[in-house]
Structure 1
Amino acid sequence: MSAFMTLSGQRIQLELQQPAEVLQWVSSLPAEVHSEISPAWLSAVSRLTTADPWYCMFQIRMMAGGVVAGSCAFKGPPDEFGAVELAYGVEGPWQGQGIATEAVRLLLKFCRGQSAVQSVIAHTVPDNAGSARVLEKCGFVCCGPVQHPEDGEVNRWELALCSSI
């Protein structure tokens, strides 16, 4: 994987951040948000010396104007079953405009190019209809509520990546 990666869509670019940039971002978060960060993920990022798309987040940058509208990331490399988990967030002014949907589709396109990835997982809090709609539009299926070890009760979403013949 290259030290700098950009995934381009119609309106946005996903720019892979360096580990130091990710750690700086985490340290700038308010305490109540910082406490929601996965300790295992944070530990993995702190050990990196170069950008890794499985651990370092992508900034969602608008092509028109260059404004950062949010971020998205994988929560680690594919597990032993070929599953990866993704997460995303779009800032208030950019919500409801399809930005998160485009970002998730770009992450899925990246996953389809990785032979080790067989499925993609996402979790949403039960009352986040906007995030659920993003996943529905991207082809995910809601498997129902689960108890997540770090996030509490969430809805689990899955998408199987089928290889074309």
Structure 2
Amino acid sequence: MQTDTARLEIRLLTPEQLTLWLDDLPRLERRLECRYRAEPLAGDFRTIVEMQRTATLADAASPQWHSFWFLIRKTDRTVVGSAVFKERPDPEGCVEIGYGLGRAFERNGYMCEAVEALCAWALRQEGVRHVTAETNTDGLASQRLLLKCGFRERSRAETCRWIL
């Protein structure tokens, strides 16, 4: 599954590709004919990817709601970032998006381009009425990104919750 923007190929990882990302990145790069230069797969981020792999394998019929999407720059086949929908749509029709970008690719509009495209894709799916997101209260760059993509702040406590 894939959606494209002017500069990005946004590609959903299959369960097998998700496992390769965790266990054999060079092999995944060869398979996808790309170079991974996004967030390092370490620490909390690695734990999140492992949790999403478990969810993807448990719900193999709907990987789009659990697996990661790679943001591949078309000009040189570089993976600049990734995004994920954290779960299937809830009873109110909400799906939550998460995303991250390699530091070298910040301030180039890639993430805004990707979030807009993925939200538009999600809102065309059956049962989806809203896309939500969460940011840290001090995550000003991510908050600006969400505002630019049309989100509005829904609540603010220990974190900020957003809705589109």
Same fold (TM over 0.5): yes
DSSP 3-state at the match of 2:142 = helix
Deviations, residues 31-84 of structure 1 (Å, cap 9, x unaligned): 34434x288644312325467211111000001111100000100111111000
Gapped regions of structure 2 (runs ≥ 5): 26-40
DSSP 3-state at the match of 1:114 = coil
Q: 2:162 aligns with which of 150, 154, 157?
A: 157
Q: 2:8–2:73: 8 Å Cα contact kept in structure 1?
A: yes
Q: 1:78–1:84: 8 Å Cα contact kept in structure 2?
A: yes
Counterpart CA distance in 1 for 2:80 and 2:136 is 21
Q: 1:17–1:51: 8 Å Cα contact kept in structure 2?
A: no
Aligned to 1:34: 46
Q: 2:123–2:130: 8 Å Cα contact kept in structure 1?
A: no
| Cα separation, partners in 2 of 1:106 and 1:32, compared to 1, 3 Å | closer
Q: 2:96 aligns with which of 85, 91, 104?
A: 85
| Cα separation, partners in 2 of 1:49 and 1:83, compared to 1, 3 Å | closer
* Greater helix proportion: 2
Alignment identity in percent? Answer: 29
Q: CA deviation at 1:103?
A: 0.5
Counterpart CA distance in 2 for 1:34 and 1:154 is 21
| Cα separation, partners in 2 of 1:33 and 1:74, compared to 1, 3 Å | closer
Q: How does 1:76-115 map to 2 (within 5 A)?
A: 76-115=87-126
Q: 2:4 aligns with which of 5, 8, 16?
A: 8
| TM-score for both structures, normalised by structure 1 | 0.80
Q: 2:66 aligns with which of 47, 51, 55?
A: 55
Deviations, residues 112-145 of structure 1 (Å, cap 9, x unaligned): 2113101110001111111111100111001232
Counterpart CA distance in 2 for 1:51 and 1:117 is 14
Aligned to 1:129: 140
| Cα separation, partners in 2 of 1:126 and 1:18, compared to 1, 3 Å | same
DSSP 3-state at the match of 1:53 = helix
- Where has structure 1 moved over 6 Å in runs of 4 or more? none
Gapped regions of structure 1 (runs ≥ 5): 147-152, 160-165
Count matched residues.
148
Counterpart CA distance in 1 for 2:130 and 2:146 is 14
DSSP 3-state at the match of 1:87 = strand
